Amino acid sequence: MNDVRDVLINLIAAFIGLLLGWSWRRAIRRARHRHSQKFWKRLTSPRFRIVVGLFQDMKFAEWEWSGLIGAGDNAALLELQEHFDQLKVPRTRLDYADRLGGDARKENLILIGGPDGNRVTGEVMTRISGTLSLVSPDGESPFVLDSTTGKQYRPERLRDRGSFSDYGIVVLAPNPFNPKTHVLVVAGLYGYGSWAGARLVTQEEFARNDLVVSGTPFEAMFTVDVVDQTPQHVSLVTMRPLSAKRPSPEIEHRL
Convert the pLDDT of each residue in 162-204 to its tens digit.
Answer: 688 899 999 999 999 999 999 999 999 999 999 999 999 999 9
What is the mean predicted confidence (pLDDT) over 108-123? 93
Are residues 105 and 15 part of one domain? no
Instruction: Answer yes or no: do 187 and 218 share one domain.
Output: yes
Q: How many residues are there in the chain?
A: 255
> Using the 8-state DSSP alphabet, how is residue 150 labeled?
T
- Euclidean distance between CA atoms 243 and 255, whole angstroms: 20
pLDDT reading at 160 higher than 90:
no
Domains held by the chain: number: 2
Q: How many CA atoms lie within 13 A of 142 on its CB side?
A: 18
Alpha helices in the chain (DSSP H): 2-32, 34-44, 58-61, 71-87, 119-125, 191-201, 204-207, 210-214, 249-254
Q: Do residues 52 and 14 share a domain?
A: no
Q: Kindly state whether residues 13 and 100 are assigned to the same domain.
A: no
- Spatial distance between the Cα atoms of 67 and 37, rounded to a whole number of angstroms: 34
Please tell me whether residues 83 and 188 are part of one structural domain: yes
Cis peptide preceding 115, ω within 30 of 0: no
Taking 80 as the threshold, does the pLDDT of residue 58 lie above it? no
For strand 108-112 and strand 178-188, is the pairing parallel, antiparallel, or unpaired? parallel
- Its domain, for residue 62, covers 33-254
- Range 7-23 average pLDDT: 53
Residue of higher predicted confidence among 120 and 129: 120
The structure's pTM equals: 0.81
Alpha-carbon dihedral of residues 38, 39, 40, 45, nearest 10 degrees? 60
